[in-house]
Amino acid sequence: MPATASKKGKTPARKNSKIESKIIWRAFELMCTAKTMAEKYEANAKMTSKYVHATSRGHEAIQIALGMQLKPQDWVAPYYRDDSILLSIGMKPYEVMLQVFAKKDDPFSGGRTYYSHPSLRRDDMPKIPHQSSATGMQAIPTTGVAMGIRYMEKTGIAPDYKGENPVVVCSLGDASCTEGEVSEAFQMAALKQFPILYLVQDNEWDISANAKETRAQDITFYAQGFKGIEVRTIDGSNFEESYNTIKEVIEIIRKERRPFIIHAKVPLLGHHTSGVRMEWYRDDLKEHALRDPYPKMKKLVTQAGITEKKLFQLKNESKPKSMNNLIWH
């Protein structure tokens, strides 16, 4: 059962509402782009694997559902598998790929940090704080951002966002939640009731060990020890469920200023990283492939009335044409 226990009590989860077709189409565009980028990296593995990176393959639905709903006043700390979050907040594929190849024009750090460890301050996008490359280390400083926002609100010095108060999002892989830093962050967020969402993407794998080898319980049960954090556990490969859950949770946080955990169960369809290949140690690839969010998203798109002709057109348009230039220059 999901953990609840807030001073305001549990808010019952509401049923999925119908999502506008333009949102579904945009989400599918982003998913096609992310999928194609992952395939490009794999096809050019001799070049891209020289610089460690991971992709969101399998995690795209939950990441896109989140990124599409963040506003410029919000903050988000992506973890290393979150390239779909970067695309869905408005980053261009070329910009994201600059980091893969450590290029000086990389907008995050001038090529000084590895893939999907961004930092960003643009007026029209959510803000991304700089973070360590160690797993779970983003939890404390990102919770600190939420603490700062709450302090500004309580002291009357926060900007007026016309009811659209900022939300802070800390994205985490499930294995990182065994780290002590994550526990410290949860404790303070629960105690002080900060406006933060911890998005835990659970693909059941650590670097090369599965969940049974690395944890006693998943985050839904672990979070029951933190009085004051409400939890939603969902199928993170289902875009409709992901979008609606995130919409509900973000609306509550903007209004009630209290913390949440979304525990999104997802498949891992790519390598752990370019240097830790899935074929070296995994025997569950077929099972994970059955939960691929891409066919589910394609079905949702056709149900929304989008034609096969338009789908075919999008497939061709989603191919990043800048890849070869990045590799060879």
pLDDT tens column, 72-85: 999 999 998 999 99
Q: Give the other-Cβ count within 10 Å of 315's Cβ.
A: 12
> What integer pLDDT is reported at residue 195 of this predicted model?
98
Classify residue 160 by burial, with Cβ atoms within 10 Å: 0-12, 13-18, 19+: exposed
pLDDT tens column, 261-274: 999 999 999 888 88
d(CA 325, CA 312): 25
Going by pLDDT thresholds of 50, 70 and 90, the confidence category of residue 14 is: low
231 within 8 A of 245, measured Cβ to Cβ: no
Whether the per-residue pLDDT at 284 is higher than 50: the answer is: yes
Phi and psi of 317, rounded to 5°? -75, -20
Going along the chain from its start, the domains and CATH numbers come out as 21-97+124-316 (3.40.50.970)
pLDDT tens column, 304-315: 887 777 777 776
pLDDT tens column, 215-235: 999 999 999 999 999 999 999
Q: Angle, nearest 10°, between helix axes 21-43 and 308-317? A: 40
pLDDT tens column, 171-202: 999 999 999 999 999 999 999 999 999 999 99
202 within 8 A of 263, measured Cβ to Cβ: yes
> What integer pLDDT is reported at residue 319 of this predicted model?
61
58, 71, 92, 101, 220 from 329: Cα distances, Å: 30, 35, 19, 10, 46
> What integer pLDDT is reported at residue 99 of this predicted model?
84
d(CA 82, CA 55): 7
pLDDT tens column, 238-259: 999 999 999 999 999 999 999 9
Residue type, 199: L
Average pLDDT over residues 318-324: 56
d(CA 53, CA 79): 11
Strand bridging mode 230-235 / 75-77? unpaired
- The three-point CA angle 236-209-272 to 5° equals 60
> What integer pLDDT is reported at residue 2 of this predicted model?
44
First to last CA, the chain: 52
Classify residue 282 by burial, with Cβ atoms within 10 Å: 0-12, 13-18, 19+: middle
Going by pLDDT thresholds of 50, 70 and 90, the confidence category of residue 327 is: very low
